[in-house]
Amino acid sequence: MKSILVTGGAGYIGSHVVQQLTARGERVVVVDNLVSGFREAVGSAGLVVGNVGDQALMARVLQEHQVDAVLHFAAHTVVPESVRDPLKYYGNNTCNTRNLLACCVDAGVRRIIFSSTAAVYGMPVGGIADEQTPTQPINPYGMSKLMSETMLRDLGTAGAMDYVILRYFNVAGCDPQGRIGQSTPNATLLLKVACEHAVGRRGQLFIFGTDYDTPDGTGIRDYIHVVDLATAHLRALDHLRNQGESLTLNCGYGHGYSVREVIDAVQRVCGHALNVVEQPRRAGDPPMLIARADELRQRLGWEPAHDDLDFTVRTALAWERHLLAQAMDQH
Ligand code: UD1
């Protein structure tokens, strides 16, 4: 039986995809350097600890595990950090992807599903992007991913690879059964940070920017539950296995929530008020980013199961409580 290689499979999104793959009986090998991932998050899948940019390692993994499709998650993802340290992003996200692709071409691995981002659109007119919207990243993170997309499209044109590029909007929530979640230390994601504050692990919650041209002045994003996003990957894999054509697809619900609406949902779910502190805008943040996501439905037959902000918050908060209990046990 052939294997699926999942790079970054010990991370937040990758681990949720690994969980769904193994649940349906796929043979999965994860390569993760565990810089921001967690060994226990890969469950029963095989784990090779190492760097995706290490061509000798990757060539060996592709061959030894008879890999026939790659799901490539391994990346740095924090927008403000990419503004401060762009080469970290071009190195890990772009150069390492180039090396991985070279190994795939050498090994004859033709199928790849690539984790891209809404950040490739930058600040689309009206804050809404479909897949034809011009790509104009406003931060190095978005550019580092767009460069990887370009390599894939060029390889597609050269007849060397079939790909599905998934452009994630704002991924949120955790496994509803509480087995895995978002465990990144020093997290920056709004919902994660809000839940950390809600369980008492942060003293306050900042709103970055209250003077945007949006109804309540705060940034608007399209938050997609990680389980629905993971399902999109399985659909994409099936599509490529059925000889489907290469695709670039937005992953979102097609509607958004402001920072204040997300905070209200967290307050509703946790049952107490949060200590919210208004701050200036954060570098690199667009005011609004919402997906036109009809293509994902039409091309892959994907349907969301968890388009419900309070449900998303409940799963995120439950994981945060689990992490808190774990931390208290260790002391
Ligand atoms: C996230 C992703 C990025 C992706 C983008 C797509 C990560 C780490 N980031 O970035 O990879 O390209 O979605 O849209 O996965 N905010 C606050 N206070 C906080 C944190 C955030 O007000 O403490 C605000 C931000 O200014 C922004 C919104 O909340 O308006 C969402 O921010 P965040 O959760 O950090 O995600 P993005 O920056 O959108």
Please check the confidence at residue 284 and state whether its pLDDT lies above 80. Answer: no
Contact 66, 3 (CB under 8 A): yes
- Ligand 1 centroid – CA 189 distance (Å): 5
Over residues 219-246, the pLDDT tens digits come to 999 999 999 999 999 999 999 999 999 9
Coil, helix or strand at residue 277: strand
Q: Is 219 in the pocket of ligand 1 (CB under 6 A)?
A: yes
Is ligand 1 within 6 A of the CB of residue 251? no
pLDDT of residue 331: 77
Residues 183-197 have a mean pLDDT of 94
Report pLDDT digits (tens) over 302-325: 999 999 999 999 999 999 999 999
Does pLDDT of 1 surpass 90?
no
Hey, which of 79, 253, 258 would you mutate to test ligand 1's pocket, going by the most ligand atoms within 8 Å of its Cβ?
A: 79
> What structural domains does the chain harbor?
3-172+223-251 (3.40.50.720), 190-221+255-330 (3.90.25.10)
Closest C-alpha to ligand 1, atom 26: 208
Q: Which residues partner with 109 through β-bridges?
A: none
Phi, psi of 173 (to 5 degrees): 80, 180
Whether 90 sits among the annotated catalytic residues: the reply is no
Q: Are 112 and 46 in contact (CB under 8 A)?
A: no
pLDDT single digits (tens) 57-92? 999 999 999 999 999 999 999 988 999 999 999 999
Task: For residue range 125-140, list pLDDT tens digits in order.
Answer: 999 999 999 999 999 9
pLDDT in tens, 110-120: 999 999 999 99
CA of 107 to the centre of ligand 1 (A): 37
3-state secondary structure of 168: strand
